[in-house]
Amino acid sequence: MTMLAQPSHPRHTALAVPQRKPGTSMTETVLTNANIVLGDEVVRGSLCFDEGRICAIDAGSTALPRAIDCEGDFLIPGLIELHTDNLERHIQPRPGVDWPHDAAILAHDGELASTGITTVFDALRVGSVLSGKKATDYRRYARPLASEILDMRARGALRISHFLHLRAEVCSETLLEELDEFTESDRVGIVSIMDHTPGQRQFRDLDKLRQYVCGKHGVSEEGFLEHVASQQALSERVRLPHEAGAVAHAIRLGAVLASHDDTTAEQVRTSAEYGIRLAEFPTTVEAARACHDAGIAVMMGAPNLIRGGSHSGNVAAEDLARLGLLDLLSSDYVPGALLRAAFRLAEVLGDLPRAVATVTASPADATGLGDRGRILPGLRADLVRVRLGGDLPMVRNVWSHGRLVG
């Protein structure tokens, strides 16, 4: 696995807190008889945390009366999710249904907590198409929804840690004006440059795009062809200024830049020139290898790994893992896939700590979150207790910043 360089703009710094003996504080939580997954080994032992921070890690069990017996379950860092479409599913549970956003955000937050995710970068599309037909246009929603998420976080209504991931859609009409609406105080951690122009990247296979557009929106063949032609024409007009504008806004917001669906080495070279640090879902081995050569971390979808391949017909995540070209995993559209994929990857690699790092330490490093992603004294007590039922990892408990949330 390629080591990820620390970003030049870390949001947090790990605290230099010395270990202390478990049981020295009446407010601490002590977990014992756990298989603790550290950076490069699994240790049977005990862990204590207090005031939201890990205090100590010790080999062996403790007889403290208030210690929680983990019964040999695994204890891993809280999962860090960089790209998820899950919130959209809660906001629009059926076509044409706009569910109350506060309830949808709470449901999304609770679902992620239940799967072991303790930090999420909520993916919101910026860049809309307002002039198309109703079935294939994309309306503006990111700024008001972001404000609702941030307001609920400020009120302490959410269980886990939320940042924003702005998905900058190049093939759109309103990208730059929508990005203008965000400020440095909005917790924007990632800006990804996405280009869904028909005939390239994720949708280079027009038959796959036809299945998606016609199947999801009920568009006729004539309507589909009109959609393809209009999107291709729009892309020709706006691609270069939109890409440059997205880069400038990411720098302004202090966000990590990501690419999306890189397919060729040439596209990766462009990504590197823009200063991109993270590649979401490269579609070919060629692109993934070019990313590693350029020092760009490769992220693949957990559903791809679990299913054994991409639903869009692109490269399989397992193939990249076996080639040493996979750095991070994302749950993408199934929150529960992230934990299961990590344990599946452990089978592929024969290395549980390395596999767990793809959903904890590596995404923390990629986004400059130096206070989480590892089990170390002084870091946030973001922890997941996991029991294996055969080859199925089952979440038993989740702590987010030391608070039991699942």
Measured CA to CA, the distance from residue 85 to residue 72 in angstroms comes to 34
- The C-alpha atoms of residue 189 and residue 165 are separated, in whole angstroms, by 6
For residue 16, the model assigns a pLDDT of: 37
Residue-wise pLDDT tens digits, 82-102 = 999 999 999 999 888 999 999
Round to whole Å and give the CA distance between 21 and 241.
57
Beta strands in 51-160 (DSSP E): 53-59, 68-69, 74-77, 79-84, 117-126
The secondary structure of 197-223 as a DSSP string is: -TTSGGG-SHHHHHHHHHHHH---HHH
Q: How far apart are the first and last CA of the chain?
A: 31
For the cut 50, the answer to whether the pLDDT of residue 18 exceeds it is no
Domain ranges for the chain: 12-77+370-406, 78-369
Predicted confidence at residue 7, as pLDDT, reads 33
What value does the mean pLDDT take over residues 283-289?
96
Domain 12-77+370-406, what fold? Urease, subunit C; domain 1 (2.30.40)
Indicate the burial class of 237 (C-beta count within 10 angstroms; 0-12, 13-18, 19 or more): exposed
Architecture label for domain 78-369: Alpha-Beta Barrel (3.20)
Locus of tokens 């200063």: 275
Q: Let me know: does 51 contact 27? Beta carbons within 8 Å.
A: yes
- The model's pLDDT over 364-398, given as tens digits with 9 standing for 90+, comes to 999 999 999 999 999 999 999 999 999 899 999 99
Q: Distance from CA of residue 200 to its chain's centroid?
A: 23
pLDDT band at 114 (very low <50, low <70, confident <90, very high): very high
pLDDT digits (tens, 9 = 90+) for 231-272: 777 777 778 899 999 999 999 999 999 999 999 999 999 999
pLDDT digits (tens, 9 = 90+) for 183-198: 999 999 999 998 866 6
Token pair of 381 as six digits: 């007590």
CA distances from 123 to 168, 280, 331, 375 (A): 10, 12, 12, 26
Q: Does 78-369 match 12-77+370-406 at the fold level?
A: no
